[in-house]
Amino acid sequence: MPDLKIKFRIDKHSHYKYFARICNKHKLKYYKYKASIFWEGPAIILENNRANIKLRYKFKIPINQDIINQDIIAIYPKKNENVNSLKYDYIYEMESVIVETVIWEYNNHRFLLNEDTDNVYDFDTKTFLGRRTILDDNKYNIDCDADEY
């Protein structure tokens, strides 16, 4: 009796359907995931470890990876398609985090500062830049190598 192997042909027109078939083959849950205002579709949400990062090589299509936090990653097709081309049993929603900040001026630039943690954020993009450190009386610096907390 011949050895039968199932191969999934890559559908040039639907990377989302191909991604879902590979997930189902490997018994991986795929979620409806919104990576940005420009991309929404299927993704696997996994612990951030070496074995899970290697899962991206099971897919023979271009794949993106987001680090959601230090413990969780999302792996999803790079190509943007119609989000409704698949049926989703699971939806992954990001937690919104509210950080209270004040406007802080440093070297003639405006930043946002969390006074509880001394975290410094870009005024326009709200991106974490570093941590405010005190040099001496009323003189500060921004430690750009610091982690956000």
Rounded CA gap, 62 and 116, in Å? 42
Domain range enclosing 113: 102-143
pLDDT above 70 covers what percent of the chain? 90
Higher pLDDT, 6 or 49: 49
Structure tokens at 146: 């610091």
In the block, tokens 């299509």 appear at 61
pLDDT tens digits for 42-71?
A: 999 999 888 888 888 889 999 998 888 878
User: Do residues 149 and 131 lie in contact, with contact meaning Cβ atoms separated by under 8 Å?
Assistant: no
Q: How many domains does the chain have?
A: 2
User: Do residues 38 and 80 lie in contact, with contact meaning Cβ atoms separated by under 8 Å?
Assistant: yes
Q: For residue 112, tell me if it sits in a domain.
A: yes
Q: Are residues 133 and 76 in the same domain?
A: no
Q: For residue 1, tell me if it sits in a domain.
A: no
Q: For residue 4, tell me if it sits in a domain.
A: no
Q: Are residues 74 and 27 in the same domain?
A: yes
pLDDT given for residue 11 in this prediction:
59
Q: Are residues 80 and 133 in the same domain?
A: no
Q: For residue 97, tell me if it sits in a domain.
A: no
Q: Are residues 19 and 71 in the same domain?
A: yes
As beta bridge partners, residue 119 has: 131
Q: Are residues 108 and 82 in the same domain?
A: no
Q: Are residues 86 and 47 in the same domain?
A: yes
Instruction: State how beta strands 63-69 and 109-113 pair.
Output: unpaired
Higher pLDDT, 95 or 85: 85
Rounded CA gap, 95 and 54, in Å? 26
pLDDT of residue 96 exceeding 80: no
Q: Are residues 84 and 118 in the same domain?
A: no
Q: For residue 43, tell me if it sits in a domain.
A: yes
Q: For residue 3, tell me if it sits in a domain.
A: no
Q: Are residues 87 and 21 in the same domain?
A: yes
Q: Are residues 86 and 19 in the same domain?
A: yes
